[in-house]
Structure 1
Amino acid sequence: MASFAMTFYSKKEDESGLSSYYNNKTTIVQEARVFNDSPISPRKCRALLTRIVYLLYVGETFSTQEATNLFFGTTKLFQHKDSALRQAVYLAIKELSTTAEDVIMVTSSIMKDMQSNSEVIYRPNAIRALCKIIDPSMAQGVERFFKAAIVDRTPSISSAALVSSYHLFPNAKDVVKRWVNEAQEAVNAKPSSSLFGSSSSGGGGYLGFGGGSSQPSGAQTMPSTSHITQYHALGLLYLIRQQDRMAVIKMIQQLGGGKSGAGTTLKNPMALCMLIRYSAKVMEEDPNVQRQFMELLDGWLRHKSDMVNFEAARAICEMKNVTATQLNKPISVLQTFLGTPKPVLKFAATRTLATLALTHPTSVATCNMDLETLIADPNRSVATYAITTLLKTGNEASVDRLIKQITGFLSEISDEFKVIIVEAVRSLCLKFPTKHASMLTFLSGVLRDEGGYEFKRAVVEAMFDMIKFIPEAKEQALSHLCEFIEDCEFTKLSVRILHLLGVEGPKSPQPAKYIRFIYNRVVLENATVRAAAVTSLAKFGVNSAEPTLKKSITVLLNRCLDDVDDEVRDRAALYLKVFKEKPLADTYVKEESVFSLAALEAQLVAYVKDPAAAEKPFDSSAVPKISRTQAAQEVARPTTLDTLGPVSKKKTDAPLAPSAAEKQSAYAQELLDVPEFSAYGPVLNSSANPSQLTESETEYQVNCVKHIFKEHVVFQFNISNTLPDTVLEQVSVIMVPQSEEAGLVEDFCIPLPSLSAVSSPGIVYVSFTREDPDAYTIASFQCTLKYISKELDPSTGAPEEEGYEDEYQIEEVELSAGGDYIVPSYASFGAEWDRMRSAPSATETFALTAMESLKAACDSIIEVLNMEALGGSESPTSTSVHTLQLSGLVTGGGGKVLVRSRMTFSRGEGVTLELGVRADKQEVCDLVLAAVGG
């Protein structure tokens, strides 16, 4: 009745303006005096407690004094025996405890309810409230009670204790870890059996805070047959053992029930699903157990629960390196779900198949007949994934029919699913280029429909790919984009399209037909779009072969000199000047690369601070270049050291990942602040990505960044301590070269004075001198983390006086040939390759037998050489032949290096690679060949 009345009032008060008063914080604080009434009115108190919880739910905050007054006013209601009121009291106590003071004083009232034998409904709520109220240091005092509650035969009590253990675990790990036997007993429990008498719970009985014991009476309800306690207990077991992989593997083996999974003690489907997820995670981290766990997953495919069948099928489908043979059974299960009348199962199956079709389209193609029947499914989410999967697995003959079916229901689905379909069509364009006409008609049609930015951006990106990879579609796609910007409401898309028109338009047979669309933007759009339009017009004036067109462009740019925006006026004036001098035109219009601003800034700062800088001019040839498109993206990215520093906890609202140039700049700034490196000069290169030297779940997490100077190499070890009860002191890293001829001599190590879980992460630097600064040293080091470990006093939080020396072996660190001495740099590959025809060069052929595709070979070569892939060559359009073009700068005055990789792929033999290198120095050519050959 109370909840109904509140719903009725809120609806009326929204119209009368009284809702804000009714749920006003000040009003609620004033009305809290009803807690002091005698006798207590349960109905009024429940209504007020509901309003308090509602305010907290919607984000309202109480001051500490207000929360404390409400909290202790609420505790007065413990004297009333109304069960519904008592539940509301516990809910309010839990929410207010985070703000109120002296909440520990209510512990005795909670403990009284927890030891109540007559009211089972009190005890789960009391357990949940207790874990919010008690201080972590008090966890040991309630340990006996929690142990008994975990093995209680009433599911609500056992589940409350298990879930509360989750909340206690982060702050009382050592205490909760001792409850593993009780959690294991809860997993193995049968609904009809009594779980009392556990030897680990103090000799049985229901133990309270003071140590007394009493056996629950027959007032307890009969246990539920849902086995939900197993789900909660399994989660707690994994939480306790997650740092010990062998313990997790043993747990999965024990609970898995043998090869078929039929003998498992787990009866709850959600618990089995959780066990399957744990199995999949272990298989991903440890391939050695894959065969054994695959047998378990195969057994779960035949489980009586649809939930378990699907989870097992999905786990197999998402495995890395899964074979077509292994996919037969899970695909058969998913195919069965496609014909079920349950929408949830159909949606789950189609979505899983849509994802699998990206990597195994042939295996998924067996479900095409079932998927075609789902195109007309009334659930448009199911229909979307069905059509998306068909687009990925269908043949060329079915393209037109599928496109026609898509058009029929596209207006009925949300933008999120529209994007999924457009991405599938985008992939289809590249798969069947001869069908570009029908797909381009479809894309142009949806571009005119209503939709948000992400949807329109997906369509525009698809057209960009068609222009880039399908020459026959270029003219028609450009025309559609011109029509789109006439009514485009998104500035970012307009600017991108105008840039593309400036690049591709002058190359077309009739460049003049695009001028009208571009100049309309100068007349009708905002300043940002007008400025982009001016730049696009200038490209037509410089790059077009028609002399009359240049005159027309000059007239249009002269009109722009009167624009109200200074950016537009300045661009117009610049390009009018450029038209008169060809060298300026080549530099400012035709040149598609610019200096990376972040890298340029870093090198200029180092140059200014270098004492010897006045004796020599700044060398701009060592600054890497990027394309103008990348430069536009770089300007929009935030530069922050926070994203580059040592290992840290995951941030939910972390900024966009910095570019490689920004990382170089940030690292250079960090090293400038270290006095020991002040005489080293500027940093020539820093690792683009830190090398992970430990696994993600170990107690100490370490990664390494390498910094190359002219005469030194500095290794930066970022270290995190995940143990909350341990502090490490005098932390250092011992590096031993594998070869005596490494060419590096250790200078010193800058240790870390102290490292705790609170202060993590920290940095240890190890410096080496390069014996020959002109040589590109390649070396491998064995690394050991050395420290003094001290336990923290639980009462004071201070480390103990005495500790013990310990070592922790971490993975090797390599100073590689390519990635550590080469910086990615943009270049016009054709022109530069011809220019360096007489430069030092080298050619060698390699057999990459382990590569399963040309795309994998491209990714591997780019990663090894750390060079810039040019012209989109990192994405092969053919499955058998491809040419990868790379460009980079070599540190320490090594100059420019270009690489042309010609590849052929044949199934069973891998990739055959012909690597051609041209550089300013022969040593650089040898370095590149050594990087790939090593």
Structure 2
Amino acid sequence: MSFAMAFSKKEDESGLSSYYNNKTTIIQEARVFNESPISPRKCRALLTRIVYLLHVGETFSTQESTTLFFGTTKLFQHKDSALRQAVYLAIKELATTAEDVIMVTASIMKDMQPNSEVIYRPNAIRALCRIIDPSMAQGVERFFKAAIVDKNPAIASAALVSAYHLFPHAKDVVKRWVNEAQEAVNAKSQGYFGSVSTSSSFFGGGNQSSAQTIPSSSNITQYHALGLLYLIRQQDRMAVTKMIQQLGGGKSGAGTTLKNAMALCMLIRYAAKVMEEDPNVQRQMVELLEGWLRHKSDMVNFEAARVICEMKNVTPAQLTKSIAVLQLFLSSPKPVLKFAATRTLASLALSHPTSVAACNVDLENLITDSNRSVATYAITTLLKTGNEASVDRLIKQITGFMSEISDEFKVIIVDAIRSLCLKFPAKHAAMLTFLSGVLRDEGGYDFKRAVVEAIFDMIKFIGECKEQALSHLCEFIEDCEFTKLSVRILHLLGIEGPKSSQPAKYIRFIYNRVVLENAPVRAAAVASMAKFGVNSTDAKLNNSIAVLLNRCLDDVDDEVRDRAALYLKVFKTQTLVEPYIKEDSVLSLAALESKLVSYVKDATASAQPFDVSAIPKISRAQAALESARPSTLDTIGVPAAKSTSSAPPPPTAAETQSAYAEQLAGVAPFANYGPILNSSAKPLPLTESETEYQVTCVKHIFKEHIVFQFNVSNTLPDTVLEQVTMAMQTEDAGLTQDFVLPIASLSAVSSPGIAYVSFTRDEPEDYATATFQCTLQFVSKELDPSTGEPEAEGYEDEYQIEEVELSAGGDYIVPSYTAFGAEWDRLKAGPSVTETFGLGASVESLKAACDSIIEVLNMEPLGGTEVPTSSSVHTLQLSGLVTGGGGKVLVRCRMTFSQGVGVTLELGVRAEKQDVCQLVVSAVGG
């Protein structure tokens, strides 16, 4: 019985899986490779099982892989075409773990010859790129060049895809194939895949002499060739732009040489990336995209429409044609087109609801669509674009099929309702009823969290529904199975509950959590109850809470006991209420750690008391995130090679400061500079990402010095840079250059390196500002290709980079959290400045103005970061600490926006020192 016949047996899945997954049996059965004569049927069956195991993630040891690999290569002697294909599949997968695989290169290259069987050549090409060493790429270059321009699409595509795999290891060689790739893009389909025997089976059947030509008009070679061209040119933005324009075929798109729909879709995505990187070419690209909207392929039409809809700063006029195309898709009989169109329109409705509203009639017809994914997106879009009168009807329709859709789409619906709550607050009753209803339904954590967040927003922004919403949350935590949600709700009850008309009614729900829940929830419940006692003037209620907290002193968990003891102590001593209960800020532990380390190591500083006022504060929410991260003093800031593995979360600002302090402590010339007052929040890029030399800058502020750290990378593999220094020139006074610490040697392998430039602050009490012209100077030496060592002689060279600015705000101010209202009133009698600025028409919105001010001043935003889209008046509040004993500084930005004029800003500054107020004003005014 043939192996193919085995599939006709009525075996259970576990039996078949056991047959395929038994690695030990496979290794034992590998002896069939040594039989004489060879049985093609048995060998194909075994090779299939090997490839299957590798595909599902099974691993072979190096010895096992080597044994199987060389056993498989013995099958090259057999003439069975199906067996030869299976051999190539197996050796391609085993080559990554087996040893000495390069020994089969000659056998593979024999099948790559133009006079060999057409059916073997694509498989041989794919296997060869996995077998050869990168240093051998030049030796097989002529074979690949010939294969790329071969008239057979299967051979050409195999060579092009193999070039992808070779590119990371042999860039210089693959880059020389650009002409062949261009020819493959321009070539027309030959109408066949080659001589492929249709009567032979991969699992069974002997060697067949007859072959049948399979017609094709897919032009798939163009897709692979275009991808390779982009891979070669991706670092040259101008070359990519020119390629898109040449292949785009003009405004109508009719003259394009690309006939493959997938190739056109990929070209459209390249156009989108170019527009994102260089807004100056947006007009040209939009003309091409609008031409593709009229293409005969639905795939190309949709991709062009989607890219236009996702463009930055897209105007309603530019959206008209794209929305018209998507509107046609809404009435298509194909579910995939309806789904793609509704999803794109749902996303676009967030920023351009008026433009999308033109599709509302078609979207309403999809509410009852049999595909619930399409119906979900249709309703979501209608919720974002509809009017107040349609809210009740839409919510009623949503309720009907919520139980029929997955959690993923439920979250989308809830997020739409969340936005609708703020848009139409008068309809809060219907929306709250809907949210409380779905909160009782079955669902996972993400779905329940989305509902809870929506109710939180209603409590925050719609005062009329606050008590009703709190009641729904109290009922939910009675049966909530998610600890995180219970803790969040208890925290909210502690904040909002005491402000309600009947705070006592929430105590029962909270104390039930102490009795029935796990330790984290019990601890949160204790804290929530205590806030009722602190904020209430009802003596009876306070006595009841004290009794309940006393019961918690016997809890089995120490966190619960400690919290109960703390709050009982606070009740007895009212002076402790403000710092321990009502104060919403704490010291940043990472910054405190860094400052303490510097204080202990610095002998001169240790003679003075430690200054806690210089430690920035963060909110308790930020502190919770900070405490969840591992403490680290690892050196950071130097560019690192990209890794394909999952990267850890980026360090917080405080962790970054701590790491820089540890890094500079190891540099001898800075030993007597004292502690670092502030370092840049993130490295400032001074070159484009695709240039041969990449430079970023970090500024370190000391009491009497300023150190510029330049992180330099050399991307040229055949060049070594020696004595790398940074020349800095400025016309501004107040700084005197001390010395430069160069990088001794910098190669592409050893990259990156760090060069330092130190300046003395002539007046340490002043906040010096300056703009520096920077030039990278070095000795360039070529690498000897035979030895890999740099040549003895080199030449001096320099590389101009962008300017570095020492700014008034961003470099001398550290973000620090505080209670803005109380602190603003406290500083009322101190130094203050109020100035008015016109930010100009270039600032297109209040949100953009807020982002710009926060970036310039580098201060902690305490309120006003969420800007309503319909508002023309807004207030932003900021807080910070000024380095070097400058003390606290608060900023209140009152802004108005009008079309044509832009944003007008009234900047109010209060600080502990007058020169600090002027520092902030000069940062914004400059």
TM-score normalised by the chain length of structure 2: 0.94
Cα separation, 2, equivalents of 1:417 and 1:638: 35
Does structure 1 residue 814 correspond to structure 2 residue 814? no
Q: Is the 8 A contact 1:646 1:763 kept in 2?
A: no
The aligned residue for residue 777 of structure 2 is: 786
The aligned residue for residue 512 of structure 1 is: 504
Q: Percent identity?
A: 80
More off after superposition, 381-390 vs 513-522: 381-390
Q: 2:329 aligns with which of 337, 342, 353?
A: 337
The aligned residue for residue 213 of structure 1 is: none
Cα separation, 1, equivalents of 2:695 and 2:8: 58
Cα separation, 2, equivalents of 1:792 and 1:226: 46
More off after superposition, 127-136 vs 722-731: 722-731
Does structure 1 residue 593 correspond to structure 2 residue 593? no
**Counterpart amino acid of residue 65 in structure 2:** A
Cα separation, 2, equivalents of 1:151 and 1:370: 48
Aligned-partner SS, 1:120? coil
Cα separation, 1, equivalents of 2:778 and 2:393: 67
**Counterpart amino acid of residue 727 in structure 2:** I
Cα distance change, pair 820–295 in 1 and its aligned pair in 2 (3 A): same
Deviation of the 1:338 alpha carbon: 1.2
Aligned-partner SS, 1:811? coil
Q: Return 5+ residue gaps in structure 2 as ranges.
A: 194-209
Cα separation, 1, equivalents of 2:118 and 2:248: 33
More off after superposition, 920-929 vs 379-388: 379-388
Cα distance change, pair 545–817 in 1 and its aligned pair in 2 (3 A): same
Does structure 1 residue 180 correspond to structure 2 residue 178? yes
Q: Is the 8 A contact 2:815 2:881 kept in 1?
A: yes
Does structure 1 residue 868 correspond to structure 2 residue 860? yes
Q: 1:925 aligns with which of 896, 917, 921?
A: 917
Q: 1:824 aligns with which of 798, 812, 815?
A: 815
Cα distance change, pair 56–828 in 1 and its aligned pair in 2 (3 A): same
The aligned residue for residue 464 of structure 1 is: 456
Cα separation, 1, equivalents of 2:124 and 2:617: 64
Cα separation, 1, equivalents of 2:558 and 2:852: 46
Cα distance change, pair 856–5 in 1 and its aligned pair in 2 (3 A): farther
Aligned-partner SS, 2:828? coil
Does structure 1 residue 683 correspond to structure 2 residue 676? yes
The aligned residue for residue 204 of structure 2 is: none
Aligned-partner SS, 1:836? helix
Q: Is the 8 A contact 2:881 2:888 kept in 1?
A: yes
Cα distance change, pair 301–770 in 1 and its aligned pair in 2 (3 A): same
The aligned residue for residue 835 of structure 1 is: 826
Cα distance change, pair 760–425 in 1 and its aligned pair in 2 (3 A): farther
Task: Show CA shifts across 1:397-448 (max 9, x none).
Answer: 2222222222222222221222222222212222222222222111111111
The aligned residue for residue 745 of structure 1 is: 736
Cα distance change, pair 298–873 in 1 and its aligned pair in 2 (3 A): closer
Cα distance change, pair 325–765 in 1 and its aligned pair in 2 (3 A): same
Deviation of the 1:836 alpha carbon: 1.0
Cα distance change, pair 150–93 in 1 and its aligned pair in 2 (3 A): same
Cα separation, 2, equivalents of 1:688 and 1:876: 28
The aligned residue for residue 169 of structure 1 is: 167
**Counterpart amino acid of residue 351 in structure 1:** R
Q: Is the 8 A contact 2:153 2:190 kept in 1?
A: no
Cα separation, 2, equivalents of 1:642 and 1:149: 48
Deviation of the 1:59 alpha carbon: 1.9
Cα distance change, pair 158–642 in 1 and its aligned pair in 2 (3 A): farther
Q: Is the 8 A contact 1:853 1:879 kept in 2?
A: no
The aligned residue for residue 413 of structure 1 is: 405
Aligned-partner SS, 2:801? strand
Does structure 1 residue 282 correspond to structure 2 residue 282? no
Q: 2:132 aligns with which of 127, 131, 134?
A: 134
Deviation of the 1:872 alpha carbon: 5.4
TM-score normalised by the chain length of structure 1: 0.94
Cα separation, 2, equivalents of 1:642 and 1:343: 53
Cα distance change, pair 55–326 in 1 and its aligned pair in 2 (3 A): same
Deviation of the 1:348 alpha carbon: 1.4
Cα distance change, pair 82–644 in 1 and its aligned pair in 2 (3 A): same
More off after superposition, 498-507 vs 141-150: 498-507
Q: Is the 8 A contact 1:120 1:220 kept in 2?
A: no
The aligned residue for residue 483 of structure 2 is: 491
The aligned residue for residue 83 of structure 2 is: 85
**Counterpart amino acid of residue 83 in structure 1:** S
The aligned residue for residue 14 of structure 1 is: 14
Cα distance change, pair 845–607 in 1 and its aligned pair in 2 (3 A): same
The aligned residue for residue 502 of structure 1 is: 494
Q: Return 5+ residue gaps in structure 1 as ranges.
A: 196-217
Cα distance change, pair 149–97 in 1 and its aligned pair in 2 (3 A): same
Cα distance change, pair 494–222 in 1 and its aligned pair in 2 (3 A): closer
Cα separation, 2, equivalents of 1:84 and 1:145: 24
Deviation of the 1:552 alpha carbon: 1.0
Deviation of the 1:573 alpha carbon: 1.1
Does structure 1 residue 693 correspond to structure 2 residue 686? yes
**Counterpart amino acid of residue 758 in structure 1:** V
Deviation of the 1:244 alpha carbon: 1.4
Cα separation, 2, equivalents of 1:616 and 1:703: 36
The aligned residue for residue 93 of structure 2 is: 95
Q: 1:253 aligns with which of 232, 242, 245?
A: 245
Cα separation, 1, equivalents of 2:9 and 2:799: 64
The aligned residue for residue 207 of structure 1 is: none
The aligned residue for residue 443 of structure 2 is: 451
The aligned residue for residue 660 of structure 1 is: 653
Deviation of the 1:321 alpha carbon: 1.4
Does structure 1 residue 269 correspond to structure 2 residue 261? yes
Cα distance change, pair 50–348 in 1 and its aligned pair in 2 (3 A): same
Aligned-partner SS, 1:837? helix
The aligned residue for residue 316 of structure 2 is: 324
**Counterpart amino acid of residue 749 in structure 2:** V
- 1:240-639 to structure 2, matched below 5 A, reads 240-639=232-631
**Counterpart amino acid of residue 919 in structure 1:** A
Q: Is the 8 A contact 2:867 2:874 kept in 1?
A: no
Cα separation, 1, equivalents of 2:579 and 2:786: 68
Cα separation, 2, equivalents of 1:116 and 1:41: 29
More off after superposition, 164-173 vs 284-293: 284-293
**Counterpart amino acid of residue 775 in structure 2:** T
Deviation of the 1:37 alpha carbon: 0.5
The aligned residue for residue 111 of structure 1 is: 109
Aligned-partner SS, 2:738? strand
Cα separation, 2, equivalents of 1:11 and 1:620: 74
Cα separation, 2, equivalents of 1:130 and 1:92: 12
Aligned-partner SS, 1:658? coil
The aligned residue for residue 708 of structure 1 is: 701
Task: Show CA shifts across 1:200-219 (max 9, x none).
Answer: xxxxxxxxxxxxxxxxxx99
Cα separation, 1, equivalents of 2:836 and 2:5: 81
The aligned residue for residue 152 of structure 2 is: 154
- 1:757-796 to structure 2, matched below 5 A, reads 757-794=748-785, 796=787
Aligned-partner SS, 1:870? strand
Deviation of the 1:791 alpha carbon: 3.9
Deviation of the 1:637 alpha carbon: 2.8
Q: Is the 8 A contact 1:647 1:720 kept in 2?
A: no
Deviation of the 1:694 alpha carbon: 2.1
The aligned residue for residue 851 of structure 2 is: 859
Cα distance change, pair 9–135 in 1 and its aligned pair in 2 (3 A): farther
